[in-house]
Amino acid sequence: QVVAIDPSAAFRKALRMWLPRTAISVDAFHLVKLGNDMLTEVRQRLTHQVHGRRGRSIDPVWANRRLLLRGADTLSDRARKRLSTVFATDDATGKLQTAWLVKEQLRTLLATGSLADAAAAKDHLKELVERAAQPETNRLWRTICRWWKEIEVLIVTGATTAKVEANNTAIKHIKRTGRGFTNARNYKTRILLRSAAKTAA
């Protein structure tokens, strides 16, 4: 009834062709990652424009680059103060902060619990994108618009690829601990045994 996918046009096209009655949900984690990637690209571009070089540890914005990617709702008071300092001292154009607000509004949109709230959050996101007026934020907005139907399914159903991604990570971990498997049958057996042991526990 519902299939959750990464934001891949090829995946969506195949599902619409072979399972036309299936509702398609786009994974929230990958959408958040698109927002983070957008903010990173803006930060790198602005650093080159202002300093004429890549970021260095002496630059507040580079030193706090990971802090920029964290959700605002997860920040401590100390972290919020550090972030405010970054915007005040190393964001002369204010463009980094506007891009950060776009990223945060995307997170807010994905956390809504109804289509009405999601639509209102989308309208506010559009306002922030227009205010930011940057190629990276505009590109993110176009992506959100192209995947809006799938985002609505995500809001209603909550369907994600989290379980599949977790299984893939567990399988890769098994391969690493086995120092690689040259025999596909042994690799498959190891995966099944580990999965069975976890289920039994």
Q: Beta partners for 2?
A: 23
Higher-confidence residue of 140 and 193: namely 140
Least confident among 6-20, 31-45, 158-172: 158-172
65-69, long-range: CB < 8 A, 24+ apart: 65/40, 68/39, 68/43, 68/96, 68/100, 69/36, 69/39, 69/40
Q: Are residues 36 and 130 in the same domain?
A: yes
Judge whether 24 lies within some domain: no
At residue 165, the pLDDT reads 85
d(CA 127, CA 105): 10
Q: Are residues 119 and 65 in the same domain?
A: yes
Judge whether 23 lies within some domain: no
At residue 21, the pLDDT reads 94
Domain that holds residue 196: 162-200
Q: Are residues 116 and 195 in the same domain?
A: no
Question: What's the pTM value of the predicted model, to 2 decimals?
Answer: 0.85
At residue 112, the pLDDT reads 96
**Are 31 and 153 in contact, with CB atoms under 8 Å apart?**
no
Q: Are residues 60 and 88 in the same domain?
A: yes
At residue 201, the pLDDT reads 56
At residue 183, the pLDDT reads 82
Q: How many domains does the chain have?
A: 2
Judge whether 151 lies within some domain: no
Nearest CA-CA partner of 61 in 99, 89, 37, 35: 89
| pLDDT, tens digit (0-9, with 9 covering 90-100), for 157-201 | 999 988 888 888 888 887 777 776 778 888 888 888 877 766 665
